Amino acid sequence: MPYATLTDLIERAGETEIRQIADRDRDGTPDPAVVDAALTDADNAIDGYVFARYARPLPSIPPVLKTWAVAIARYILHRNGAPDHVAQDYKDAIASLKDVAAGRYSLPVAPDDPAPVSQTGQVMASHPDQVFTQQRLAGWR
Protein backbone atom coordinates (compact mmCIF):
# COMPACT_ATOMS: atom_id res chain seq x y z
CA MET A 1 0.00 0.00 0.00
CA PRO A 2 1.51 3.35 -1.00
CA TYR A 3 2.16 5.93 1.69
CA ALA A 4 0.69 8.77 -0.41
CA THR A 5 -1.60 9.25 -3.39
CA LEU A 6 -2.16 11.75 -6.18
CA THR A 7 -4.85 13.35 -4.00
CA ASP A 8 -2.29 13.85 -1.23
CA LEU A 9 0.10 15.51 -3.68
CA ILE A 10 -2.67 17.83 -4.91
CA GLU A 11 -3.68 18.71 -1.33
CA ARG A 12 -0.09 19.70 -0.53
CA ALA A 13 1.01 21.39 -3.76
CA GLY A 14 -2.19 22.34 -5.54
CA GLU A 15 -3.64 21.00 -8.74
CA THR A 16 -1.88 23.56 -10.94
CA GLU A 17 1.61 22.62 -9.76
CA ILE A 18 1.01 18.87 -10.00
CA ARG A 19 -0.42 19.26 -13.50
CA GLN A 20 2.65 21.31 -14.52
CA ILE A 21 5.17 18.77 -13.22
CA ALA A 22 3.35 15.49 -13.93
CA ASP A 23 1.64 16.14 -17.29
CA ARG A 24 4.32 14.84 -19.60
CA ASP A 25 2.00 14.18 -22.56
CA ARG A 26 0.50 17.71 -22.35
CA ASP A 27 -3.15 16.60 -22.24
CA GLY A 28 -4.01 18.82 -19.26
CA THR A 29 -4.04 16.11 -16.57
CA PRO A 30 -1.27 14.55 -14.48
CA ASP A 31 -0.04 11.32 -16.07
CA PRO A 32 -0.90 8.41 -13.76
CA ALA A 33 2.26 6.48 -14.69
CA VAL A 34 4.48 9.48 -13.90
CA VAL A 35 2.78 10.10 -10.56
CA ASP A 36 2.83 6.39 -9.66
CA ALA A 37 6.55 6.17 -10.48
CA ALA A 38 7.36 9.17 -8.25
CA LEU A 39 5.22 7.80 -5.41
CA THR A 40 6.84 4.35 -5.77
CA ASP A 41 10.30 5.94 -5.65
CA ALA A 42 9.27 7.83 -2.51
CA ASP A 43 7.93 4.63 -0.91
CA ASN A 44 11.15 2.79 -1.71
CA ALA A 45 13.26 5.55 -0.19
CA ILE A 46 11.12 5.56 2.95
CA ASP A 47 11.23 1.76 3.24
CA GLY A 48 15.02 1.83 3.00
CA TYR A 49 15.26 4.00 6.08
CA VAL A 50 12.29 2.75 8.11
CA PHE A 51 12.90 -0.96 7.67
CA ALA A 52 16.53 -0.56 8.67
CA ARG A 53 15.09 -0.01 12.15
CA TYR A 54 11.62 -1.59 12.19
CA ALA A 55 10.40 -5.06 11.29
CA ARG A 56 7.84 -5.53 8.54
CA PRO A 57 4.94 -5.06 8.41
CA LEU A 58 4.24 -1.95 10.43
CA PRO A 59 1.11 -2.38 12.59
CA SER A 60 -0.31 0.78 11.00
CA ILE A 61 0.98 3.49 8.72
CA PRO A 62 1.85 6.62 10.72
CA PRO A 63 0.59 9.83 9.05
CA VAL A 64 4.12 11.24 9.07
CA LEU A 65 5.07 8.69 6.40
CA LYS A 66 2.48 10.24 4.07
CA THR A 67 3.99 13.67 4.72
CA TRP A 68 7.47 12.42 3.88
CA ALA A 69 6.24 10.51 0.81
CA VAL A 70 4.55 13.62 -0.57
CA ALA A 71 7.69 15.71 -0.02
CA ILE A 72 9.91 13.14 -1.73
CA ALA A 73 7.55 12.45 -4.65
CA ARG A 74 7.00 16.15 -5.25
CA TYR A 75 10.75 16.71 -5.36
CA ILE A 76 11.15 13.82 -7.80
CA LEU A 77 8.42 15.19 -10.06
CA HIS A 78 10.31 18.49 -10.33
CA ARG A 79 12.78 16.85 -12.68
CA ASN A 80 14.06 20.17 -14.08
CA GLY A 81 14.95 21.58 -10.68
CA ALA A 82 12.73 22.02 -7.69
CA PRO A 83 11.94 25.41 -6.12
CA ASP A 84 13.73 26.10 -2.85
CA HIS A 85 10.70 25.32 -0.66
CA VAL A 86 10.19 21.95 -2.37
CA ALA A 87 13.88 21.11 -2.08
CA GLN A 88 13.81 22.06 1.62
CA ASP A 89 10.77 19.83 2.25
CA TYR A 90 12.66 16.98 0.57
CA LYS A 91 15.80 17.59 2.64
CA ASP A 92 13.74 17.74 5.83
CA ALA A 93 12.01 14.45 4.97
CA ILE A 94 15.31 12.69 4.27
CA ALA A 95 16.85 14.09 7.47
CA SER A 96 13.88 12.81 9.46
CA LEU A 97 14.15 9.40 7.81
CA LYS A 98 17.84 9.27 8.70
CA ASP A 99 16.83 10.00 12.29
CA VAL A 100 14.38 7.08 12.16
CA ALA A 101 17.07 4.75 10.84
CA ALA A 102 19.53 5.90 13.53
CA GLY A 103 16.97 5.48 16.30
CA ARG A 104 16.79 9.19 17.17
CA TYR A 105 13.13 9.38 16.07
CA SER A 106 10.49 6.78 16.80
CA LEU A 107 7.54 6.36 14.51
CA PRO A 108 4.27 7.36 16.18
CA VAL A 109 1.58 4.71 16.46
CA ALA A 110 -2.16 4.81 16.86
CA PRO A 111 -3.42 4.38 20.45
CA ASP A 112 -4.77 0.87 19.79
CA ASP A 113 -1.76 -0.38 17.82
CA PRO A 114 1.23 -2.15 19.34
CA ALA A 115 4.53 -0.32 19.06
CA PRO A 116 6.53 -1.19 15.95
CA VAL A 117 9.09 -3.89 16.60
CA SER A 118 12.64 -2.64 16.59
CA GLN A 119 14.89 -4.59 14.29
CA THR A 120 18.23 -3.69 15.84
CA GLY A 121 20.44 -6.51 16.97
CA GLN A 122 23.94 -7.87 16.94
CA VAL A 123 26.17 -8.12 13.93
CA MET A 124 27.62 -11.61 13.65
CA ALA A 125 30.44 -12.86 11.45
CA SER A 126 32.11 -16.14 10.69
CA HIS A 127 35.58 -16.50 9.29
CA PRO A 128 38.15 -19.26 8.71
CA ASP A 129 40.98 -19.98 11.11
CA GLN A 130 43.91 -17.58 11.06
CA VAL A 131 46.58 -18.67 8.59
CA PHE A 132 49.57 -16.68 9.83
CA THR A 133 50.05 -17.20 13.55
CA GLN A 134 53.10 -16.60 15.77
CA GLN A 135 53.74 -20.37 15.96
CA ARG A 136 53.57 -20.91 12.20
CA LEU A 137 55.84 -17.97 11.52
CA ALA A 138 58.38 -18.86 14.25
CA GLY A 139 60.93 -20.25 11.78
CA TRP A 140 60.67 -17.30 9.34
CA ARG A 141 62.33 -14.56 11.34
Identify the band that residue 116 occupies on the pLDDT scale cut at 50, 70 and 90.
low
Peptide bond into 57 cis (omega under 30): yes
pLDDT single digits (tens) 61-112 = 899 999 999 999 999 999 889 999 999 999 999 999 999 999 899 888 777 7
> Any alpha helices (H) in the chain, and if so which ranges?
6-13, 15-22, 32-50, 63-77, 84-102
Local structure of 54: helix, strand or coil: strand
What are the phi and psi torsion angles at 133 (to 5°)?
-110, 170
Report the interhelical angle of 32-50 vs 6-13 (nearest 10°): 90
The Cα 90–Cα 112 span in angstroms is: 31
| pLDDT of 60 | 83
Whether residue 15 has pLDDT greater than 90: yes
Selection from 52, 29, 48 nearest residue 40 by Cα: 48
